[in-house]
Amino acid sequence: MDKIGPKHRTCRRVGAALCGRPNCPSNKRPYPPGMHGRGRKRISEYQTRLVEKQKLRHIYGVSEAQMRGYYDKASRSKGVTGEEMIQSLETRLDTVCLRLGFALTNRQSRQLVSHGHVLLDGKRLNVPSAKVKPGQTVSLTPKARDFIAVREALEITPDPPVYLYRNKSEVSGTLSRLPERTEVPLPVPVEERLIVEFYS
């Protein structure tokens, strides 16, 4: 559920390059957009928690309803709520495609999935939020492998995190195991504890 409007507005609002791009405007102007952006304000505890939640939402490109759902599910699990929430976001099909280097941005990755170019264990799946389980293989359709954007992404993206195995020539990858919190390559630091406090 992408918002229409300037891509970097949220980056400016929270003062961090959530998009993960080195040329993000928030690096040059680390204050909120608008004429009052530079004004010094005391930040409340509520606002601090809200900003952390918005950071995570923006990084994974999920709606508020989806975010709430991930929190509710994580809070019912036996593990640490914040870590379980990030683990669920990290094992979304669109996120796995991004981590495998099939796309340069979350938006591109989601588009690949929703347009039916992604296969999970050989079956076409067009639901970006679908959960990838350990041992499952994600690959692209033969047509999508030749997309210029995909080939460019594979060229310039770094190796995927250790919990993913990538076969570049086959344009496929496998989730070897569930990610640990310290292994998740978020573009900016996120304190998930504050997000849990926001929702609880």
Asked if the domains at 9-88+186-199 and 93-177 fall in one CATH topology, the answer is no
Residue 92 has pLDDT above 80, yes or no: yes
pLDDT-based confidence at residue 4 (cuts at 50, 70, 90): very low
Question: Considering the entire predicted model, what is its pTM?
Answer: 0.81
Cα-based distances in Å from 113 to 6, 15, 142: 23, 30, 14
Residue 24 has pLDDT above 60, yes or no: yes
CATH 3.10.290.10 at 93-177, yes or no? yes
Parse the chain into domains and list their residue ranges: 9-88+186-199, 93-177
What tokens were used for 68? 């709430």
9-88+186-199 adopts what CATH topology? Ribosomal Protein S4 Delta 41; Chain A, domain 1 (1.10.1050)
Q: Quick one: which of 14, 110, 97, 130 has its CA closest to 61?
A: 110
Residue 184 has pLDDT above 80, yes or no: yes
